[in-house]
Amino acid sequence: MLLSYFNNPVEFVAIAGAFLAALTIHEFAHALASDHLGDPTPRLLGRLTLNPLAHLDPIGTLMILFAPFGWAKPVPFDPFNLRNPRRDSAIISFAGPCANLILAILASVILRVFPALSFGMLSPIGILLSAIIILNVNLALFNLIPIHPLDGFHIVQGLLSERAARQWAQLEGLGFVMLLVLVFPLFGSSPVLSIIRPIVSFILSLLLPSFSVI
């Protein structure tokens, strides 16, 4: 995807920076929540950091160049170190999308408080902040889809009763197939993305000044 902006160095750098920021803050939030809830595993593995190099996945990063999606290395945590493993696992999972939405809101506030920064395509900072808003909102809502290995799957599991959670966990092995069938448009259209797209558009309409959409 990023290669499509290669002819415009300003857009390329801005959108690449926005991708790095979105992925980094997402994984850092998982690590921070895990550490706060009693599991030091991410910190011991060097994941409790805002250094993008600690979180980037080689293949996931390459996919960003060629496709409209990508991914970072998942933050591992040990549920046996958590006080309430099922509940705390859900909190750790929710921390990533929540951090993305907070970052998008902060970027929106900057655009509205300092409108001179966002004169459309003429402002590199405006392009960067707009890209941060768009990418973080999309990443947050995509990860809230309740399909393994996305965060939404573990969030739902934490909200269910113990018996229902065990039954829900049995769907984990079908996650990859469900992603291909329900999310990625292999057969013409994506039923899941068609549902979340209006939600994404609504949130972006609230966060993005009309003159800063890229």
Give the residue from 89, 121, 98 showing the smallest Cα distance to 8: 121
Question: Which residues lie below 8 Å from residue 165, measured CB to CB, with a gap of 6+?
Answer: 86, 157, 158
Cβ–Cβ under 8 Å, residues 175 and 169 = no
Kindly report, residue by residue over 99-132, the tens digit of the pLDDT: 999 999 999 999 888 776 655 545 788 888 989 9
Q: What percent of the chain has pLDDT over 90?
A: 58
Cβ–Cβ under 8 Å, residues 1 and 28 = no
Cβ–Cβ under 8 Å, residues 120 and 211 = yes
φ/ψ (deg, to 5) at 56: -70, 140
Which domain range does residue 147 map to? 2-212
Q: How many domains in the chain? A: 1
Give the residue from 91, 86, 73 showing the smallest Cα distance to 35: 91
Radius of gyration over every alpha carbon of the chain, rounded to an integer in angstroms: 18
**Residue of 11, 27, 162, 172 with catalytic role:** 27
Biggest CA pair distance of the chain:
56
* 27 among known catalytic residues: yes
| Angstrom distances, CA of residue 82 to CA of 35, 36, 110, 126 | 9, 10, 37, 41
Handedness of CA 7, 8, 14, 15 (dihedral sign): negative
Per-residue pLDDT of the chain (214 residues; tens, 9 = 90+): 555 555 677 787 888 889 899 999 999 999 999 999 999 999 999 999 999 999 998 887 777 766 656 788 999 999 999 999 999 999 999 999 999 999 999 999 998 887 766 555 457 888 889 899 999 999 999 999 999 999 999 999 999 999 999 999 999 998 888 877 777 765 666 777 788 889 999 999 999 876 444 4
pTM of the model: 0.89
